[in-house]
């Protein structure tokens, strides 16, 4: 069992900067949890507090029901893998992987067994005699992983471990890491600012901004039911479109603005009771906007007449950068779509997929 609980954890650095504010979440046993957010949001600080490399200003961290606030990093039974791998350049791969076990006075034959086993799992058993500088980036990454695996820790902590790899290798290692985690039944906390990495690997995502947790949920959850404008705009590429509209009542409830008229589906109407005649933010993802001609059921409730700014064909799909009376919008449409910059273009919106946000609090209405 390895469960990690953060209870109202705060970090105020000595210079007074409040980097993490009331962080509350649980990493369940065998769970792959990703801390996701833009640069500087407090992800690494949070991870380092779990590792014991950073003091906790307020709150508690428990590992397996035991408060570890004052437990030394070496006694927490965790292994951390860093972005820069932190390998010892003068040692062989074998010695790099064995180093932590030697420090712990593990018997020699036990070290040998664990290093060879981890090397085999990672496919680096033929590299054990090499020095780090004789390895590729991906191989170094595996050695850093191997060094964590041989420790057989309760919890693995990863700080952007794939960010130094090229795009192709990153995609490959992403899948390998996830498989490895399942095979080892490891409990993992993984820091990244890459939302695709988070979505593809995580059982649970903790989204942070400016030191504050914005939402905790599965990939499906944070994509489909974002808690606020920050999460809605951070998850998904290209990001969700946000348009300023007014909620009006006229034979049903509508979102209206100059050139915009969208009918709110019946099942959402009651949620807008307190917003009639008020301004809100209407959200729709690029993938939920269609060429009118390819959308079944296109009618006056869901069609927008836009102006095409730029057409970006990507092969499997085409991105259209559109404007409606000065408000910008991106649509991800079928490559069969014929649209030209400078021309009018009618799109249909999938009303089942629309979002609405309170303009003041930026929290989701739906
Ligand atoms: P990145 O993805 O860029 O690593 P991050 O989300 O991991 O970002 P942290 O490294 O946790 O962010 O830093 C959070 C904030 O705390 C940043 O604004 C950073 O400048 C600040 N910070 C980090 N270390 C210290 C320190 N020792 N003293 C003061 N402020 C710090």
Q: What is the pLDDT of residues 264-298, one digit of tens each?
A: 999 999 999 999 999 999 999 999 999 999 999 99
Q: Look up the CATH architecture of domain 241-358.
A: Beta Barrel (2.40)
Q: How far is the CA of 86 from the centre of ligand 1 (A)?
A: 19
Q: Where are the domains of the chain?
A: 4-234, 241-358
State ipTM: 0.97
Exposed (0-12), middle (13-18) or buried (19+): which is 47, by Cβ within 10 Å? buried
Can you tell me which atom of ligand 1 is nearest the CA of 45?
A: 11
Packing angle between helix 167-184 and helix 137-149, nearest 10 degrees?
A: 20
Can you tell me which atom of ligand 1 is nearest the CA of 48?
A: 11
Can you tell me which atom of ligand 1 is nearest the CA of 191?
A: 7
Task: For residue range 295-327, list pLDDT tens digits in order.
Answer: 999 999 999 999 999 999 999 999 999 999 999
Q: How far is the CA of 42 from the centre of ligand 1 (A)?
A: 6
Q: How far is the CA of 91 from the centre of ligand 1 (A)?
A: 31
**CA atoms of 171 and 349, how far apart (whole Å):** 32
Q: How far is the CA of 54 from the centre of ligand 1 (A)?
A: 12
What the block records as the tokens of 23 is: 């962080």
Site to probe by mutation for ligand 1, drawn from 10, 18, 42 as the one with most ligand atoms within 8 Å of Cβ, is 42
Classify 4-234 by CATH class.
alpha beta
Return per-residue pLDDT of the chain as tens, 366 residues: 799 999 999 999 999 999 999 999 999 999 999 999 999 999 999 999 999 999 999 999 999 999 999 999 989 999 999 887 789 999 999 999 999 999 989 999 999 999 999 999 888 999 999 999 999 988 998 999 999 999 989 999 999 988 888 888 888 888 888 998 999 899 999 999 999 999 999 999 999 999 999 999 999 999 999 999 999 999 999 999 999 999 999 999 999 999 999 999 999 999 999 999 999 999 999 999 999 999 999 999 999 999 999 999 999 999 999 999 999 999 999 999 999 999 999 999 999 999 999 999 999 999
What the block records as the tokens of 2 is: 């390895």
Q: Do domains 4-234 and 241-358 have the same CATH topology?
A: no
């Amino acid at each position: 069992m390895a469960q990690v609980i953060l209870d109202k954890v705060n970090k105020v650095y000595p210079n007074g900067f409040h980097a993490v504010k009331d962080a509350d979440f649980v990493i369940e046993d065998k769970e792959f949890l990703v801390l996701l957010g833009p640069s500087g949001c407090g992800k690494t600080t949070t991870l380092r507090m779990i590792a014991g490399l950073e003091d906790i200003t307020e709150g508690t961290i428990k590992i397996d029901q035991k408060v570890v606030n004052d437990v030394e990093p070496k006694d927490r039974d965790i292994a951390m893998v860093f972005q820069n791998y932190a390998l010892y350049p003068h040692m062989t791969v074998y010695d790099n992987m064995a180093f932590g076990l030697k420090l712990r006075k593990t018997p020699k034959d036990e070290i040998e067994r664990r290093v060879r086993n981890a090397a085999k799992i990672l496919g680096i058993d033929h590299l054990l005699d090499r020095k780090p500088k004789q390895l590729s980036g991906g191989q170094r990454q595996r050695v850093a992983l191997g060094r964590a695996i041989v420790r057989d820790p309760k919890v693995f902590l990863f700080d952007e471990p794939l960010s130094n790899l090229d795009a192709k290798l990153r995609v490959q290692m992403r899948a390998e890491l996830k498989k490895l985690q399942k095979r080892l039944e490891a409990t993992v906390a993984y820091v990244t600012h890459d939302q695709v990495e988070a979505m593809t690997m995580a059982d649970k995502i903790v989204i942070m901004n400016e030191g504050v947790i914005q939402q905790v949920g599965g990939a499906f959850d944070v994509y489909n039911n974002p808690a606020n404008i920050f999460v809605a705009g951070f998850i998904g590429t290209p990001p969700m479109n946000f348009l300023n509209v007014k909620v009006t009542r006229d034979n049903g409830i509508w979102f209206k603005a100059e050139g915009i008229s969208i009918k709110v589906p019946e099942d959402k109407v009651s949620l807008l009771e307190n917003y009639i005649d008020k301004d809100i933010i209407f959200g729709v993802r690029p993938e939920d906007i269609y060429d009118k001609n390819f959308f079944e059921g296109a009618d006056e409730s869901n069609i927008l007449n836009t102006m095409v700014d730029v057409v970006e064909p990507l092969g499997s799909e085409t991105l259209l950068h559109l404007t409606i009376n000065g408000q910008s919008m991106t649509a991800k449409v079928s490559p069969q779509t014929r649209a030209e910059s400078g021309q009018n273009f009618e799109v249909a919106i999938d009303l089942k997929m629309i979002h609405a946000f309170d303009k003041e609090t930026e929290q989701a209405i739906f």
